[in-house]
A = this chain, B = another copy of it.
Amino acid sequence: MTDVLSIDPHTGEPRGSVATESTAQDVDEAVRAAAVAGAALRDRAVRVDLLRAAAALLEKDGADIVATADAESALGRVRLTGELARTCYQLRAFADVVEAGAYLDVIIDHADPSAEPAPRPDLRRFKVPLGVVAVFAASNFPLAFSVPGGDTASALAAGCPVVVKAHPDHPATSVLCARILRSAAAEVGLPADVVRLVHGFDAGPELVRHPLTAAVGFTGSVRGGRALFDIASSRSRPVPFHGELGSVNPVVVTARAAETRAAEIGAGLAASYTQGLGQFCVKPGLVLVPDGPAGDAVIQAVVTATVPSGPLLDSRMRAAFLAGVRSRAALPGVTEPLKAEEAGDDAAPLAVRPGVLTVAASRLAEGGPYRELLEECFGPVTVLVRYGSPTERDAVLGALPGNLTAAVHLAADERDDAAAELVARLSEIAGRVVVDGWPTGVTVAPAMHHGGPYPAATSGSTSVGASAIERWLRPVCYQGTPDPLLPPELREANPLGLPRTVDGVRTTS
């Protein structure tokens, strides 16, 4: 049995053992138990209660959760308090989604013997849960994208039991949150096993391979995510893998924007790329800045801004960050106006300082080793790419892999066709387009889309916002089924008062 240690990221020192790594047998037992418990999730009303009870219990133990998460992640109590609020908001938002019932997508087409081109039987369709969902917790959000996070909330909302693979950066937080979710289940009369937790690197592939695993939610690196995606896709019965893998989140600063508000843009960028020490999937990692004095002024504002130092989530990330910056900085033509480096002191020997790199767009066009600059470097660094023309700018955008976000900063009166075309161009390479803002801060709202072309996401789905529930559902159609044998969601009299589309007409209840 291998101990799972909680580590202090300031020092790299273990804080204590919080669990043991899950064996293949443990994973099997967890998935089977979740599958059995899942039957109890059929009732929508109890899922609403579960999600709301979970939010309330998380809030009740909020101080303990925030302290534990901070001790393991060094993300700070302010940020983690906000993240907890977001997590609870999200749980309640999904409770509202379940209660409203529109996500069931009830469609009823009555029989029509005279229909063309063929007589139509009575058809009734809605969506049902897929089964056990495997959730891989993210390093950088110990709460909102981990045990009690969006994948878990949306899966439970859909009626799917969940087995979470804890992230090794916050096992104590994971254990604490899993216990709270399981208490919430018990409180509303559900088996606690609707949520299970597993630990350890080997538990990941085991979980994805398990025959009863019906779908996977993942937030993490391209390398780890792709390995698990490949397992999910190569199973004898492949399962959907909704992964959020990696993104550089390009930002374009137009020439006119730089001319009119260089200082504001530079300060905004400095705050955004260093927020959470750059440990966000939506960190702006590549910024297209125009050549010339106005662009110089943007860069000047970025590199002179006051930015925080601190420890990254773990020492492996710290090493990857420092090595990633060094290898990019070593490319000919790359400058380093602000040097990312070790910044340890007695309190936090593992701290690092943010950095900024610059490179000419013409260099990126050479490809080869310069392609590294188009890949995500997790942590507080951003690459400023100087461009001389819209053509050069578009060539860089065209060379990028898929992104979660793409942003543009315009001048206040820049509302012409060229600007509209640029916005349209950005929509082709990202799941979310941001104008005159920064990508960090992903609002939990129905219109949010947190996903994008591969590798930003491995599917067309979102992991944030109401439609995240769609990932864990499949449609079922009932044909010619007598009313008493239909699930209540599809009965003629609409006993559950659901919104539905009947013979092409949408009714709200």
Contact = CB atoms under 8 A, between A and B. Distances in A.
B424 A487 contact: yes
B117 A423 contact: no
Q: How large is the interface on A (under 10, 10 to 19, 20 to 34, 35 or more residues)?
A: 35 or more
Chain multiplicity (copies): 2
Interface stretch (A202-210, A229-237, A372-380): A229-237
Interface in A377-405: 401-402
Contacts of A109: 443, 445-448
A506 B504 contact: no
A415 interface: yes
Interface string A419-431: 1100110010011
A491 to B, nearest CB: 11
A194 B92 CA distance: 45
Contacts of A423: 478, 481, 485-486
Given A229-B238, A433-B476, A477-B432, A86 B462 contact: no
A241 to B, nearest CB: 9
Question: Which 9 pairs across A and B sit closest by C-beta, in order of nearness?
Answer: A233-B233, A123-B447, A449-B477, A85-B117, A107-B447, A125-B447, A460-B474, A109-B447, A435-B481
A68 B395 CA distance: 48
A462 B151 CA distance: 24
A61 B108 CA distance: 35
Interface in A109-130: 109, 116-118, 120-121, 123-125, 128, 130
Interface of A: 82, 85-86, 88-89, 107-109, 116-118, 120-121, 123-125, 128, 130, 229-230, 233-234, 237-238, 240, 401-402, 415, 419-420, 423-424, 427, 430-437, 441, 443, 445-449, 451, 453-455, 458-460, 462, 467, 473-482, 484-487, 501, 504, 506, 508
Nearest to A233: B233
Contact of A107 (B86, B234, B446): B446
A431 B475 CA distance: 7
Contacts of A434: 479-480
Nearest to A490: B447
Nearest to A470: B460
Contact of A117 (B82, B433, B506): B82
A371 to B, nearest CB: 13
Contacts of A455: 237
B433 A478 contact: yes
Contacts of A448: 109, 123, 125, 477
Contact of A238 (B118, B435, B458, B473): B458
A381 to B, nearest CB: 24
Contacts of A486: 423
Given A435-B485, A484-B415, A441 B477 contact: no
A230 B240 contact: no
B229 A431 contact: no
A97 to B, nearest CB: 11
A226 to B, nearest CB: 9
Nearest to A437: B480
Contacts of A125: 446-449
B437 A479 contact: yes
Contact of A460 (B117, B451, B475, B484): B475
B240 A435 contact: no
Contact of A479 (B433, B451, B485): B433
